[in-house]
């Protein structure tokens, strides 16, 4: 089954404790991205990657890091999480350029930073 898998689905942690949210897709998609979703603000892009070893900032990259060492994986790293990063996070992938291809989303990771 074609899917985007995120882990963990839920996490409660404390300020400053480094965490990683993993994202894996099994569709051999070139393009992957991370979003956060907050009430009233909709989905906002954090980082995206157009292929292996190619990453770039989205609209709200501050406080986040990503890496793309393999085509299927695109982890999101919070080096020193803060309460304002409490949010619902989604990973998405698509074949090629997102201007023409629909995105496939994971089921989300709900992060609470205390």
Partner 1 sequence: KNQVEQSPQSLIILEGKNCTLQCNYTVSPFSNLRWYKQDTGRGPVSLTIMTFSENTKSNGRYTATLDADTKQSSLHITASQLSDSASYICVVSRQTGANNLFFGTGTRLTVIP
Binding site for partner 1 (CB under 8 A): 4, 40-45, 48, 50, 56, 58-59, 90, 92, 98-100, 102-108
Q: ω into residue 8 within 30 of 0, thus cis?
A: yes
For partner 1, the closer of residues 3 and 80 by Cβ is 3
Q: Rounded to the nearest whole angstrom, what is the least distance from the CB of residue 15 to partner 1 in the complex? A: 26
Q: Rounded to the nearest whole angstrom, what is the least distance from the CB of residue 85 to partner 1 in the complex? A: 19
Q: Rounded to the nearest whole angstrom, what is the least distance from the CB of residue 44 to partner 1 in the complex? A: 7
The answer to whether residues 36 and 89 touch, using CB atoms and an 8 Å cutoff, is yes
């Amino acid at each position: 089954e074609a899917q985007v898998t995120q882990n963990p689905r839920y996490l409660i942690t404390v300020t400053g404790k480094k965490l990683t949210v993993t994202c894996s897709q099994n569709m051999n998609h070139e393009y992957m991205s991370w979003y956060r979703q907050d009430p009233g603000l909709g989905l906002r892009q954090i980082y995206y990657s157009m292929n292996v070893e190619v990453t770039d900032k989205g609209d709200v990259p501050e406080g986040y890091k990503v890496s793309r060492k393999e085509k299927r994986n695109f982890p999101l790293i919070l080096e020193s999480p803060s309460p304002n990063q409490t949010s619902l996070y989604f990973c998405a992938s698509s074949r090629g350029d997102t201007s023409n291809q629909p995105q496939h989303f994971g089921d989300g990771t709900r992060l609470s930073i205390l």
